Amino acid sequence: MQTEKTFSSLYRPNQDEGARQSFVGALKAQLNGPVERRLAERYETILKPDYEQRHGQAPQDRWEGLTLFAKDPLYRLWGAAQFQSQHLMWESVEETCQRLLPELERRYQALNPETCLGRLELDPDLKVPEPIASVEIHRQPGGYFGASGQHELMTGLTYFGALELYRSAKGVLNDAGNTSAGDAGMGRYILGAVGRRFPDLEPKAVLDLGCGPGTDAVAYRQRFPEAEVWGLDLSAPMLKFAHIWAEDGGHRINYRQADARRTGFDAGSFDLIVSDIMFHETRHDIVPDIMREARRLLRPGGVFLNVDVPYQAKRLDIPEQVTNHWQVANNGEPFWTGFADLDMREQLSLAGFAEDEIFADYDPLGQRHTLVFGAGKRS
């Protein structure tokens, strides 16, 4: 369905909403930047020397670091303000989403499956594994699967509205430097990561695992206009949003609700399988199963490439390990450290990918890095 004015052009916070969201973004940026740097300084100049004097060595891991920070007044203030900023983020973004929801719903209802560009395949019998089903990830009200009484389209819409606000406050700008809601910049970034490693890949079919609201999939469709593009996710509410987002923007993209461990596609269906920040939001014990399924789905010559958070403990000093742990304990990121403690090369190898085809690198993104991992499949 191609409408005169797409929903993407309607998704604009009004002046008051914009002011509140800017305040939240600035508060988060202050906490993530200057205040975290002050915490690191306090650690080096006060907390660590004090610990060394008592224990004869510096803290060795996040647990030892936590015992120091737990009593530190600046850390406690930082934690309280982080917690509140997350609450304010959802509250201020929901205001915009509630205002725009009736228009989105009207457009969704107007979709006719007979004339849609892409398909939406939902599975009402799918059992979402626990604890993924019941966790409110990032403390988003209702999580990825919605709360009772909540309008389903709100799930994807709110996630979509908050994502760029959250990301830019973390200092992560996409490759285009554009941080407006719905921008497909991370999809373009992933295509850049694919192109640098596999410049000759011209996929006929692309699969985006854990596609969420489907913003990245638009970039895959635009880059490979002849390819069949699929997004897959556990969450039906996310996929309903993704479907209306694609149709409204005039993009032919198919969506399927399934567990990435059991996608239901035939072996050899895809030449490019990607994911963007899915692995740190799924159970770490199912990671090799998801990778094994990706390997089954790839044709010979195909590529599996994933982008995720670069928070492996070996790369982080103690203050950052502690502030990351705070996110796990207090900010709805229960799978984050389980993921970060895994060795992705080992997981890919367990899934059957050949050692010499596996990659796991830190690629730059804005002021930060991402972990880019995956493998080619020769045969």
Ligand X SMILES: C[S@@+](CC[C@H](N)C(=O)[O-])C[C@H]1O[C@@H](n2cnc3c(N)ncnc32)[C@H](O)[C@@H]1O
Identify the sign of the CA torsion 129, 134, 140, 141.
positive
**Bridge-partner residues for 304, per DSSP?**
273, 375
Angle between helices 236-249 and 215-223 (to 10 degrees): 40
Please identify the residue of the shown chain whose CB is closest to the bound ligand X: 212
- Contact, 210 vs 185, CB < 8 A? no
The answer to whether residue 185 forms part of the interface with ligand X (CB under 6 A) is no
Question: Which stretch in 21-29, 65-73, 264-272, 274-282 sits in contact with ligand X by CB under 6 A?
Answer: 274-282
Q: Shortest CA distance to 151 belongs to which of 99, 78, 79, 74?
A: 99
Residues 196-255 that bind ligand X (CB under 6 A): 210-212, 216, 233-235, 238
The answer to whether residue 111 forms part of the interface with ligand X (CB under 6 A) is no
Residues 344-363 that bind ligand X (CB under 6 A): none
Three-class SS of 220-239: HHHHCCCCEEEEEECCHHHH
Amino acid letter at 331?
N
From 169, 193, 218, 260, residue interacting with ligand X (rule: CB under 6 A): 260
From 140, 269, 282, 347, residue interacting with ligand X (rule: CB under 6 A): 282
Q: CB of 276: closest distance to ligand X in angstroms? A: 4
From 277, 316, 328, 360, residue interacting with ligand X (rule: CB under 6 A): 277
- Distance CA(213)–CA(240), nearest Å, equals 8
User: Which strands form 254-257's sheet, in the order they lie side by side?
Assistant: 120-121, 254-257, 228-233, 205-209, 270-276, 298-308, 368-377, 358-365
- Contact, 243 vs 217, CB < 8 A? no
Amino acid letter at 79?
G
Q: CB of 348: closest distance to ligand X in angstroms? A: 17
Q: CB of 190: closest distance to ligand X in angstroms? A: 9
- Here's the x/- map for ligand X, 19-58, by CB under 6 A: it reads as ----------------------------------------
From 17, 164, 281, 293, residue interacting with ligand X (rule: CB under 6 A): 281
Beta carbon nearer to ligand X, 99 or 262: 262
- Count interface residues toward ligand X (CB under 6 A): 19
User: Using CB under 6 A as the criterion, which residues of the chain lie in contact with ligand X when the complex forms?
Assistant: 132, 144, 163, 186, 210-212, 216, 233-235, 238, 259-260, 276-278, 281-282
